[in-house]
A = this chain, B = another copy of it.
Amino acid sequence: VKLQVALDLCSLDEAVGLVEVLREVVDVVEVGTPMVLRDGMQAVRDIKRVAADTPVLADLKIVDAGEHEAAIGFDAGADIVTVLGIADDTTIDGAVRAARKFGGRLCADMITVSSVAERGAALVTRDVDLVCVHTAYDRQASGANPLDELNEMMTRVPMDHIAVAGGVNAEKLQQIAPHGPAVVVVGGAIAGAADVRAAAEEIQATMRRYGP
């Protein structure tokens, strides 16, 4: 189980400082959508430089012009780019083409997809590398969490293609880690902690302890 830290609600300068502290403790660094909207691909270039050998994901949430927009992310140095699972298949196929051309990976964010297992299986068949069950930030206050959708996704998609995101903390990880998804995405529980490195190390320890 790999740990991806999502950098969403901080400035680019703050994010660069966090990555300097976290790059040896996490497996993937995510340049979150709000940072992409604010700073564009400058955010990916700056984070990529400081992330060194740790892969960088650009959370572009592509829903149209798949090949063109994915190429924007890969061209800026992203190792992984996201597309929305609800996108049209032509958009998915275009983003996959860009990923193969650049030697990058493509992750489909399943946010707002109603039948995650069925759509997830179809996306993996279309050569999408990862499908990410994702409880929207805006839905987390209601107590929603990605565990139900993970259980559903597992019925149709192999675990090595599944990522899990949306309000994950050490406590929720105790339920998620035993299933052994390929990636767990953690945002505020690391980036919002007083000691971000200690928080990331605790998450990694929880994943080892409760992992398969």
Contact = CB atoms under 8 A, between A and B. Distances in A.
Interface residues of A, number: 37
Interface in A20-51: 33-34, 36-43
Contacts of A137: 64-65
Given A36-B37, A40-B38, A69-B34, A112 B87 contact: yes
Given A33-B69, A37-B73, A64-B136, 16 more contacts: A33-B64, A36-B37, A37-B60, A37-B72, A38-B72, A40-B40, A40-B43, A63-B84, A64-B137, A65-B137, A86-B86, A86-B112, A87-B112, A88-B138, A88-B139, A90-B142
24 contacts: A8-B65, A33-B65, A34-B72, A36-B40, A37-B40, A37-B41, A37-B73, A38-B40, A38-B72, A61-B63, A63-B112, A64-B111, A64-B136, A64-B137, A64-B138, A65-B138, A86-B86, A86-B112, A87-B112, A87-B136, A88-B138, A88-B139, A90-B141, A94-B138
